[in-house]
Each structure stands twice: as C-alpha cells, then as structure tokens.
A and B are shown apart, each in its own frame.
Chain A
Amino acid sequence: MSITLAGMIAITAAVTAILMVGSRQLSMNLVLYSVQTLLVAGLTIVIGIQHQESNLFLIALAVASIKAIGIPRAFLWIVKAIQVRSDPGTILPAPLAMHFGIVLMGASSLLTSGLPVPQGTAKISLEATAALSLLLTGILLMLTRRVALSQILGFLTIENGIYLFALTQTSGMPLIVEMGILLDVLVAVMIAGLLLFRIKSSFEHIDVTQLTGLKD
C-alpha cells in the first residue's frame, strides 16, 4: 500500500493535535484546533470525490463552518473575556507530553495493524492510525491540562478522531446522523462555554484540579 493523499491529510491533522499538546498558550491551541478541523473537512471533501458522494461535501461545509471557524472564534472571545491566557499544566510538562503523543501515535499504528478489516481493502490504513492517534492525543490533552478550556479542546479533539474513524473506515455515514452529531457538539460546546463563565465568576479561576471539594 502506498501513501495516499487522504492518508497524508489525516496524519497532518494528527500532527497538529500533537503540537496542541506541546503548546501551553490557549490561543495557539485554538488556532491549531482550527487547522486540524479544517484538515478533517478537507479530508471529507477528498473522500467525497473518491466515493462520488455529494452529501459528504455538505458535511465538510458544516464541519468547516461550525467546528473550524465558529467554535474557535467563540472560544477566542471567551479567552479574552475571562483573561486566562495560558495553561500551567499538570505533572507531565508540555514538551514531554508532546513526545509521549508521538509514542501514542506509534502505538495506534500498531493497534490499527491488528484491526480486522473488511475483505478487499488495504491492510494498514494511515487514516485509521491518524484517527486513533487523534483520539488518544485528545485523552492525553485532557489528562495533562489544568484549565477547563483545554479540557473542552481535548474533548473536541477526541470527537474529531471519532468522526475521522467513522468517515474513513465505514463506507459512508448518513447525512442526518452526521448533522445530529454536529448539533450535539455545538450544544455541548455552548453549554461548556456558559459553564466556564459561571465557574470563573464563582471560583475566580477555571482550574479543574482545584474543583475537587464541595463549596457551601
């Protein structure tokens, strides 16, 4: 199997997720997330051309406008409003977490090589590696971060990974299901954004490691 254009785009998206783990600036993270989602949308178009399915173009448009432009812009506004610029991080320092992300990418490559695939398709798929790597990197991002906004970004990265996996490993998702997922994500992000404001106004910080005790 040779390296395809779709595989290269998917791996680049996974690399931007790893770079997100390495950067502690929230605005930089948001820009990287936007690039990552744009790449995922581009991949949707490439697959749409390959499989000749016109509803994938609509999905790509929705993904690009809502997840790549809408959500990062809203979060950039929140970052400005609540005056939190960078994430102090937890035990694992950002550079080491980034290297660990690459190790996870290698692990996902090993995992996908053992994945049962339908008859007649290629053995190892770079797209599946990238999807699994996005999923694991999202979890890593959520584990190594302290600020609530980064937790949401980690969640969105996981969502990208799941979307990528569904897109590349199945023969095509119904438009209505994908639109439903997009709506769910949008609502979840809006609620999370509102919660961020509430946490900031009642606790004076958005540090999730200090939100363990109850307050009277």
Chain B
Amino acid sequence: MSIILQWVSFWLSLLVLPLLLLGVIRKLKARLQNRIGAPITQPFLNFFKLMNKTETISETSSWLFRTTSVINLASVLLVAFLAPWLSYQPAIPGDDLFLVIYLLALVRFFTILSSLDTASPFGTFSSAREATLSLLVEPAMVLSLIALALSQHSTSLSKIFAFLPEISLASLPLWLLAGAGLFISSLCELSRMPIDDPTTHLELTMVHEAMIIENSGKNLALTELSYALRMAVLFGLCAQCFLHALCCIWHPNVLQQSLLSVVFLFLVGFATALVEATAVKLPWRTAPNFIAYGLTMSLLAAFVAIAQGSLK
C-alpha cells in the first residue's frame, strides 16, 4: 500500500513541482524587486502556449537540432527517477552518483551540440562559455557528492540520502558544507544569477539563453520543461542535504520528512530568488572566483568526511 502511495505522490510531484518551482522563484524575485510579477502558474501557461505554436527551423540545421530537446528531456527524466530529490521517492536500482552526474553532463553536451548546429553566432560563443563553466563547476558538484559518499561508504544515491535513525550531531557540518557546495555549483550549473542572468537578452552577457535562442514552438517548450526539471532535481538534492542537517538535531517521522522535503525545496528556491534579487551579475572574468567558493565548500566537506572516517 505504501509503495503505491509513494509512486502516486512521486508522479504528482514530478508533474507539478518543477514548473511550479520555476513560477514561484520568478514570482518571489519580482516581489523582492517591488514588481507584481507574472502569476505562479505562468510556466504552465507558457508550456501549453508554446506547444500549440508552429516551429521555425533554420535551413542549415540538421536532425540534431530537433532531436536534442527530446534526448535532453529523456535524460533529465531518468535523472529525476534516479536521484533522490524528494524523501518519499521510491528507490530504483542503479542510482549511482556518477551515472547521475554524467547524465547531467550529457544534457549539457547535447545542448552545446544543438546550439553549434544552428550556426548562429550567439550559439557558438555561448556554447564556448557553457563548456568553460562546466569545466569549472563539475569538480565542485562531484566532490560535494563524493564527500557524502565517503561518509556513507557507498556511491548509491539512495543509500547516501537514506534517513538513518542513528544520525548524530557530528555529521551536521558535513551535510551543511556539502549542501552549500551543491547549492553554489547548482546556481552555476543552472545558469542562475551571479554567473548568468536568466532574464537578460543582451547577447554579450547571456550564456544559457543564447544557446537556446533558435529554439521555438514545441522544441522550446520541451527545452524549458527539461530545464525546470533539472532545476527541481538539483535544488531538491540541496534541500535534501539541508533536511539531513536538520535531522541531525531533530528526528522527524516519515510524513514530516515528506512534507519538509517539499518545504525545503521551496526554501532553496527562495534563497535563489534572494540571491537573484540582491546580487549583480559577475563579469565573465571574475566568475571563476565565485565558483571557487563552491569548490571550497566541497573540499571542506571532503576534509570533514575524511577526518570523521579517521576518527572512528
């Protein structure tokens, strides 16, 4: 009975949460900047509007351009099933952390390919930027998850993020540091504010938006959906880290955990909106300095994990 309930609630969350999170972040950002902002349901409306529009495709682009959005959505869906971004998610065998990381890298690879395929000048320079960023962000993201894997002696994500009853105060710094490292690197991975402005359309500053500038209609709808899903998964993993940090102090029951994981997901979204409303976009040359803080947090988490292992 409980496994059916898990699947039903997971499917419902998978359908609703990603686009809702996107809408909530946009709304919060607007409110923090003293604007009224679009309604929270705007991403859903946009999705259906784009699905009904006709598509414009450049004559020079190949089959790759249209296939990319489908491949991306499929890989992100697989990641969403594998990575435990909600505490009530049913476990699936084969949820290795390296598989998840490199499925996300595959998404980026195909996005870069399709933006090069359109032969638009924006696509070329933005894909070069995206490739540079991925080079900088990947160590931080992998290391923060490896630090957690070290402490649990397993690379299976469902084992890393399992709620152990004997979790104690000693693992609080590890979860906090890993969560902070993951949050900073997901801000870059998702091309959010300090690295890339998701709302700008000034071609010299944008990274992610310039890569999908040629997409339209259904293609754009699927791209936006996979972006929202990717954001929900990555922010969900951060939220799980912070939820585990809370569990070091207070032990909630299963129902409370499920509710808290959704609440924490939106809290991470609120933190993102706060960063976006207050921070300015960094110049391209100082972006590595920001990402270095993510790597610092991950390195510290790894240090704590190793030190705890040797103290036992």
Contact = CB atoms under 8 A, between A and B. Distances in A.
**A and B form one complex:** yes
Of the candidates B169, B289, B296, the one having the most CB atoms from chain A within 10 angstroms of its own CB is B296
Contacts of B307: 109, 126, 129
Given A1-B311, A106-B303, A99 B295 contact: yes
A22 B296 contact: yes
Interface in A95-109: 95-96, 98-99, 102, 105-106, 109
Interface in B272-312: 288-289, 292-293, 295-296, 299-300, 303, 306-308, 310-311
Nearest to A3: B170
Contacts of A8: 173
A98 B308 contact: no
A102 B303 CA distance: 8
A186 B303 CA distance: 34
A5 B201 CA distance: 50
B170 A98 contact: no
Contact of A98 (B173, B292, B306, B310): B292
B36 to A, nearest CB: 35
Contacts of B295: 95, 99
Contact of B311 (A11, A99, A106, A124): A124
Size category of the binding interface on chain A: 20 to 34
Interface in A42-59: none
Contacts of B308: 3
Nearest to A110: B310
Interface in A1-47: 1-3, 8, 11, 15, 18-19, 22
Interface in B204-257: none
Given A1-B311, A3-B170, A95 B299 contact: no
Given A22-B293, A109-B307, A124-B311, A99 B170 contact: no
Contacts of A99: 292, 295-296, 299
B311 A3 contact: yes
A189 interface: no
Nearest to B288: A95
Contacts of A109: 303, 307
A206 interface: no
Size category of the binding interface on chain B: 10 to 19
Contacts of A1: 311
Nearest to A122: B311
A109 B304 CA distance: 11
Given A99-B299, A102-B300, A105-B303, A22 B292 contact: yes
Nearest to B302: A102
B142 to A, nearest CB: 15
B289 A102 contact: no
A3 B171 CA distance: 9
Contacts of A11: 173
A147 to B, nearest CB: 18
A95 B289 contact: yes
A2 B300 contact: no
A100 to B, nearest CB: 10
Nearest to A94: B289
A98 B311 contact: no
B311 A95 contact: no
9 contacts: A1-B311, A3-B311, A18-B300, A93-B289, A98-B292, A99-B295, A106-B306, A109-B303, A124-B310
Interface of B: 169-170, 173, 288-289, 292-293, 295-296, 299-300, 303, 306-308, 310-311
Sorted nearest first, the 3 A-B pairs with minimum C-beta distance are A95-B292, A3-B170, A102-B299
Given A3-B169, A94-B289, 4 more contacts: A2-B311, A93-B289, A95-B295, A99-B292
